[in-house]
Amino acid sequence: MPANTGRRPTSAALYEEALQHIVGGVNSPSRSFKAVGGGAPVFMKRAQGAYFWDVDGNRYIDYLAAYGPIIAGHAHPRIVEAIARAAESGTLYGTPTELEIEMARRLKEAIPSMDKVRFVNSGTEAVMTTIRVARAYTNRTKIIKFSGCYHGHSDLVLVAAGSGPSTLGIPDSAGIPISIAHEVITVPYNDLGGLRQALERWGDDVAAVLVEPIVGNFGMVMPKPGFLEGVCRMARDAGALVIYDEVITAFRFHYGGAQNFAAFPDHAAIEPDLTALGKIIGGGLPIGAYGGRKTIMEQVAPLGPAYQAGTMAGNPASISAGIACLDVLREPGVYDRMDALAARLTDGLEASAAKHGVPLTINRIRGAFSTHFCAHPVTNYAEAQDTDGEAFAAFFRAMLDRGVCLAPSKFEAWFLTVAHTDADIEETIEAADESFRLVAA
């Protein structure tokens, strides 16, 4: 299906050119329109606040937020200033800086389970390294993770479920040896039975159970009450560590992690051993971080035997942008405002879908939500898969043509930012009303 005829001729032409030089025309497969019927993605030229402008001059209200990091809105003046200041002082030293201490202190204050942190350059690196550290600490090799949760593109986490919870994984990507997949067990989210079975069979070999405490990768999915408490208890009983992947969730719902979010089920009963961070904490520049209990983190070089390094790690530009972003998020009322705007928007989407007879399930957690084209609840990956991808694709394209930019996948979330206004919500609801009418037709 051609995507960018009519309103987006320049995007269509640039895509043709990009295909000549960049594999698939994109630098991350999620940016392609493969999951929404194919064709040219939109090439953006400029972004400010809650808006994008594409190369053809079309304006879009942005709910992609670059897959999460842009919570302060695009080109927030404080972040722009912080980056400019950092650039003027030199972008990379290869030595420690005071900024890193400031950022580490802030992260520890906001997420107290981390006694020590280390900065890296992406969420992928952060998760990959927590696994290495957990393996070093426990002297075990296997990892348990949950179906549909995405943890970056390192070998161990690009492994899908085997045929049941007591079978080992199969690679999700070419180039991953089966021997590596055999170190990973994937079980269903929100189902302690699957985890129990896996631990009964493999428990003595499991270094860590890796989990998104609130799922952001097959829509937004809350853990059922008792689920995370069970994960932590069962992992510890088996002598395994618990790793929380908070790359999406940290600073998304409040100033802190999902693990210490007061509205969160079981939050008092759970504390991970290790936490992986990314996205928001870089304010839109590349970053990742991981942290955890002191005794575990002391496995990491130069103190311990687990090696992890990085030429760009903790670079002043990313750290400065991150500090400025956290400053924005620390202002009173910021999260309540995003929550209120998202509530208004999802009320409008639900009313409009119902009016047009389009089955729609919305999972909303404060300022982030997902729209599932189905009539059933979505609490795990199988339920998220069992939704109408064609209806989502039609909705996505209709919204794009009406100036609303969503992620091009039925599994991705909508993110509110500090920059969205009531007027944006009104405009989005109007666009959605016309889009649902088209989907229903």
What x-and-dash track marks residues 41-80 binding ligand PLP by CB under 6 A?
A: --------------------------x-------------
Q: Give the list of residues 6+ apart from residue 325 with CB closer than 8 angstroms, or none.
A: 71, 72, 76, 79, 280, 281, 282, 283, 284
Q: How far is the CB of 212 from ligand PLP (least distance, A)?
A: 5
Given 62, 155, 245, 266, the catalytic residue: 245
Residue 124 interacts with ligand PLP (CB under 6 A): yes or no: yes
Residue 283 interacts with ligand PLP (CB under 6 A): yes or no: no
What x-and-dash track marks residues 315-334 binding ligand PLP by CB under 6 A?
A: --------------------
Q: Catalytic annotation on 279?
A: yes
Q: What is the side-by-side strand order in the sheet with 44-48?
A: 44-48, 51-54, 59-62, 404-405
CB-nearer residue toward ligand PLP: 244 or 335? 244
Q: Which of 253, 304, 312 is nearest to 111 (CA)?
A: 253
Binds ligand PLP (CB under 6 A): choice among 39, 165, 203, 216: 216
Residues 373-432 that bind ligand PLP (CB under 6 A): none
DSSP H stretches of helix in 163-315: 178-181, 192-202, 227-237, 294-297
Residue 146 interacts with ligand PLP (CB under 6 A): yes or no: no
Which helix (H) or strand (E) segment holds residue 83: the answer is helix 77-88
**CA-CA distance, 178 to 181, in Å (whole number)?**
5
Tokens coding 29: 């497969």
Beta bridge mates, 185: 144
Residue 278 interacts with ligand PLP (CB under 6 A): yes or no: yes
Binds ligand PLP (CB under 6 A): choice among 43, 150, 264, 411: 150
- The 10 Å Cβ neighbour count of residue 136 is 17
Length of the chain: 441
Three-state DSSP class for 277?
strand
Give, as one character, the DSSP assignment of residue 74: B
Query: Measured between alpha carbons, how far apart are the two ends of the chain, in Å?
Result: 18
CB-nearer residue toward ligand PLP: 212 or 388? 212
**CA-CA distance, 75 to 23, in Å (whole number)?**
28
Q: Catalytic annotation on 245?
A: yes
Given 150, 244, 255, 381, the catalytic residue: 150
Q: How far is the CB of 344 from ligand PLP (least distance, A)?
A: 26
Q: Minimal CB distance to ligand PLP: which residue?
A: 123
Q: Catalytic annotation on 54?
A: no
Q: How far is the CB of 211 from ligand PLP (least distance, A)?
A: 10
Residue 130 interacts with ligand PLP (CB under 6 A): yes or no: no
Q: How far is the CB of 69 from ligand PLP (least distance, A)?
A: 8
Residue 259 interacts with ligand PLP (CB under 6 A): yes or no: no
65, burial (CB in 10 Å: exposed 0-12, middle 13-18, buried 19+) = buried
The stretch among 121-129, 322-330, 357-365, 387-395 that binds ligand PLP (CB under 6 A) is 121-129
Binding site for ligand PLP (CB under 6 A): 67, 122-124, 127, 150-152, 212, 216-217, 245, 247-248, 278
Residues acting as catalytic residues: 150, 245, 279
